[in-house]
Amino acid sequence: MPGESDGKTELPSHAVILVPETRSSQQWHPRSRLVRFVRVVAAAALSLVFVQYLWVYWDVRSLPRGVTVPLRAQEYLDKCRLLDVKPGPPSDFNTRTQSDRFVLGTKVTLVKNATIWTGRLDGLEVLHADILLDKGLIKRIGHVKGAELEQYSEVTVLDAEGRWVSPGIIDLHSHLGVYNSPVLAGAFDVNSRKGPVLPWLRALDGLNTHDDAYRLSISGGVTTSLILPGSANAIGGQGVIIKLRPPTDRSPTGLLLESPYETNRSVYNPQAFFRYRQMKHACGENPDRVYSGTRMDTAWAFRQGYEKARQIKQAQDDFCAKAAKGEWAGLGEFPEELQWEALVDVLRGRVKVQTHCYETVDLDDLVRITNEFKFSIAAFHHAHETYLVPDTLKSAYGHPPAVALFATNARYKRESYRGSEFAPKILAENGLQVVLKSDHPVLNSRHLIYEAQQAHFYGLAHNLALASVTTTPAKVLGQDHRIGFVKEGYDADLILWDSHPLALGATPQQVWIDGIAQLEAPHLLSKPPPLQVRPKTPNFDKEAEEALKYDGLPPLEPKPSRSRTVVFTNVSAIYLREGRAIREFYAAHGEISAARAGEAVVQNGRIACIRTMRNSCRYAIDDDAEYIDLEGGAISPGLVTVGSSLGLEEIRSEASTSDGTVIDPLSHVVPEIVGGDGALIRASDGLQFGTRDALLAYRSGVTTAIVAPKSSGFLAGLNVAFSTAVRHKLEEGAVLQEASAIHVSIHPAGTPSVSTQIAALRHLLLDETKGQLKHAVDKVKNGEIPLVINIHSADAIASVIVLKAEAEAALGNKIKVTLIGATEAHLLAKEIGEADVGVVVSPTRPFPHFWEERRLLPGPPLSGRNAVSELLAHNVSVGVGVIEAWQARNTRFDVAWVSLEANGTLSKAEALALASSNVEQLLGVATDSMQSDLVATQGGDLLEFSKVVAVISPRRGIVDVI
């Protein structure tokens, strides 16, 4: 084959002349035996060199006269030989007796009585066994007897008591350590803007070991991550695979899955095997925006870069073919360029290409380019439209790429607008590999298992859902010989879960990386038996078919029932409003039978009768009544979302689809035509009904949204509460309440300072204002409407508490203050309770995106309580919210997670109140049971993996069938 060598043209890189040593004395010296042994070995080695020299000498003599062999010929031939080394592990890799990442002093660990999801047999193998960890490896899986442990001086034994163990989670797309948390200007190394094609850059060179997120991600079970450069460039540089445990040498290199140095007698020898590398590509909006180009420009940048690499590869192959034949005349030096060597290796199949690519047009571009230049793509990332064009992916060169997705994160820019929660299911049914990833910190990788849980909820098979964050990414990375499975000889990266990994809220009780336990004194939760088995999920086949039928934009509008009377049968529980609280009105405990199940009769959007074992509702049922079987489901109050711009935008990054941002009077001059210093903007004036995020929220049980004007400064304006189901503002029941609270924000932004923002708030509360602003502020001063402050820092919150007391003393009455966001509020839980300040925790699972959020309360297993539980324990009125519009649909799961972490201290009714009556009260929205929507779920209650099938709307007088 071209490039191979028979070894006869190799030249020694240097010559050695032996000089005999004279001995003046025969006297023995203390180290004489060692010296003689070294001399013998040296003589043998030099003899081999001499023989090689003779071979080369005779080979050179056989060359045609006039041919000059270059002095670096041996070096060139070595480089040629390396070109033929295939990527992947050595054949004897799994015969290793210890990991190259083994840390001396790590104790042997025995995990007994585990239920093990191994990842083997297409993710269908489950074992009930023990797992022995030693020297960084899984040494034994089975029933380990005491005799087998006698060889060890000390063994740490942990009884899993039948709980689930899985491989460590692998995040295929993360910016951990290069997009740092909290974000600081001095450590923001995710993107270079030096050109669209930069294959020579390496994420390793910007990897920060002090990122606050390492510890958080480990606590969620993430053991391995692919750290990629950002997506500003068509070719952004080389990624790096890391293990997340703190390295013993505290260096970025110490994090590497595969160290370039000799470790534990493991030596990387590229002449025997070649390690896969990873390369980041990106197409579509990001590189187009950064370089002010178009898709045509980006496609050309790809082709231009790959043509350069192709030319170098071809030159190398031609060079090596001649060198192998001894045709040195005119060859010159070996053709190579350091800047392009990684891209050349892409063409040689030794670099895995990870491509950020959303839309069909971009996917098709990249597939054509792979066929033009003959290279494969390991995975398309984000890839929101891949489920619409599986055959396009199958046309890629070499093999179809895997697809790395979000579960429900979509519609944040145009190229993600057609994203579907059914994409994982559809892609898997088309035989494509599915991966769920975080794009950390876009999503907090700590909760990557939650992405798999959602994918399973929406139809991805359970085995593939677990594989999507373990075995499948290991395969895509080319690392499935050592990670991604619970298998003897593999890295000892494991998670012990407190429930089935696909059960909502599943939390690690322990995480091992390289056999080292990562959680010190973890806070454990007691999960009920139903959560210890694989969760039952609804059937979404029809919805998935419609997603395809309508090219990713299926109709989402609800349809009213065909009859004024709707009878809900097989009801297991009913929760209703009672004043400002939620009460469990009916519950059928234990197994649900036809005789014991409840029944609810609804007429004109209102519950007319609830049948239990003690009464009948026949009198209320019309002949033409429509029946809906809830199959043991429940009826609960509709949820309320707050915190995002839901209803003010359709596509976040497209200005033409958004209400826009208000002018902040603290930083800009507000035009007199708006009201000047007395202006106050109303969110109701900019409402957009029928957005896809609003309709998806409605179909998930979120029937009301409260939104304030979009602001990037201090003063936002007056909020509005509206229905997420209606088509326009003039429909009956569209707007629940206008101007129910004033919203402001206090955040460190440089200019204006936090103290300036507090001063502005003091002016509003203690001094006179004018215009519409005065009218609304006076209501705050009189305690009629709340002042809602978006804030995170405990220090800023303390200043607000002091200011509230100062204002109340001056005004002579109480005022209503609600904090929203409030990541650090737990530090002042007692003081907040005493000050009678309400809190909307948003998001419910905190993350230190910014400095003001770094002192978060992480919740189990890192802390005994989460922020909601801590605040409730100090008698604070608490609600929950979201940050972005797409997250509103997942409010039900957010509340369920909070409830599970409360470890039995929250009833289901109290949990439902966190995202319904509590939020309305804290945001100044007045409602009652005669106006509030109810949600009917099939197969479970609203906080379980159930399906919303109907919404009962008293204020609109209808039942919407979902």
pLDDT surpasses 90 at 809: yes
Task: State residue 113's pLDDT score.
Answer: 98
**pLDDT, tens digit, 9 for 90 and up, residues 836-870:** 999 999 999 999 999 999 999 999 999 999 999 99
Tokens of 141: 């899986």
Tell how far CA 855 is from the center of its chain. 21
Tokens of 441: 């910190």
**pLDDT, tens digit, 9 for 90 and up, residues 713-749:** 999 999 999 999 999 999 999 999 999 999 999 999 8
Helical residues (DSSP H) of 836-940, grouped into ranges = 867-872, 891-901, 908-914, 917-922
Task: State residue 58's pLDDT score.
Answer: 46
Whole-structure pTM value: 0.92
Q: What percent of the chain has pLDDT over 70?
A: 92
Of 840, 902, 896, 831, nearest to 865 (Cα)? 902
pLDDT surpasses 90 at 151: yes
Task: State residue 263's pLDDT score.
Answer: 75
Residue 555 burial (CB count, 10 A): 10
**pLDDT, tens digit, 9 for 90 and up, residues 315-349:** 999 999 999 999 999 999 999 999 999 999 999 99
What band does 614 get if pLDDT is binned at 50, 70 and 90?
low
Task: State residue 597's pLDDT score.
Answer: 83
Of 76, 2, 1, nearest to 318 (Cα)? 2
Rounded to whole angstroms, the Cα distance separating 741 from 26 reads: 102
- In degrees, rounded to 5, the angle at the alpha carbon of residue 174 between the alpha carbons of residues 170 and 180 is 130
Rounded to whole angstroms, the Cα distance separating 117 from 126 reads: 5
Higher pLDDT, 502 or 92: 502
Q: What percent of the chain has pLDDT over 90?
A: 87
Tokens of 40: 């013998």
Task: State residue 677's pLDDT score.
Answer: 93
pLDDT surpasses 50 at 16: no
Rounded to whole angstroms, the Cα distance separating 314 from 305 reads: 14
**pLDDT, tens digit, 9 for 90 and up, residues 461-509:** 999 999 999 999 999 999 999 999 999 999 999 999 999 999 999 999 9
Task: State residue 261's pLDDT score.
Answer: 84
Do 789 and 744 touch, CB atoms closer than 8 A?
yes
- Phi and psi dihedrals of 585, rounded to 5? -80, -35
What band does 592 get if pLDDT is binned at 50, 70 and 90?
low
Rounded to whole angstroms, the Cα distance separating 234 from 287 reads: 6
Task: State residue 775's pLDDT score.
Answer: 97
pLDDT surpasses 60 at 595: no
pLDDT surpasses 60 at 273: yes
**pLDDT, tens digit, 9 for 90 and up, residues 418-445:** 999 999 999 999 999 999 999 999 999 9
**pLDDT, tens digit, 9 for 90 and up, residues 754-776:** 999 999 999 999 999 999 999 99
> Dihedral sign, CA of 97, 102, 104, 108?
negative
What band does 266 get if pLDDT is binned at 50, 70 and 90?
confident
Instruction: Give the mean pLDDT of the chain.
Output: 92
- At 914 the three-state DSSP class reads helix
Task: State residue 590's pLDDT score.
Answer: 62
Tell whether omega for the bond before 287 is within 30 degrees of 0, i.e. cis.
Answer: no
> Dihedral sign, CA of 859, 865, 871, 877?
positive
Task: State residue 620's pLDDT score.
Answer: 76
Tokens of 583: 């009460």
What value does the mean pLDDT take over residues 32-40?
Answer: 51
Taking 3-state DSSP, the helix, strand and coil percentages for the chain, each rounded to the nearest 5, stand at 30, 25, 45
Task: State residue 66's pLDDT score.
Answer: 61
What band does 267 get if pLDDT is binned at 50, 70 and 90?
confident
Tokens 């029946």 -> residue: 627
Crossing angle (nearest 10°) for helices 73-83 and 295-324? 120
- Phi and psi dihedrals of 548, rounded to 5? -75, -45
Task: State residue 260's pLDDT score.
Answer: 87
Helix (H) or strand (E) holding 610: strand 606-611
* Region for 666 from its dihedrals, namely left if φ exceeds 0, alpha if ψ lies in -120 to 50, beta otherwise: alpha
pLDDT surpasses 90 at 830: yes
Task: State residue 1's pLDDT score.
Answer: 43
- Strands of 817-821's sheet, edge to edge? 639-642, 702-707, 715-723, 735-746, 787-791, 817-821, 838-841, 878-880
pLDDT surpasses 80 at 798: yes
Task: State residue 65's pLDDT score.
Answer: 58
Q: Would you list the DSSP string of 40-66? A: HHHHHHHHHHHHHHHHHHHHHHHSPTT
What value does the mean pLDDT take over residues 137-158?
Answer: 95
Counting Cα atoms < 13 Å in the Cβ hemisphere of 920 gives: 28
Do 643 and 820 touch, CB atoms closer than 8 A?
yes
Q: Which residues contact 799 (CB under 8 A, 6 or more apart)?
A: 754, 758
pLDDT surpasses 70 at 543: yes
Q: Which residues contact 370 (CB under 8 A, 6 or more apart)?
A: 376, 377, 396, 397, 398
Rounded to whole angstroms, the Cα distance separating 635 from 630 reads: 9
Do 116 and 305 touch, CB atoms closer than 8 A?
no
Task: State residue 594's pLDDT score.
Answer: 54
Higher pLDDT, 119 or 44: 119
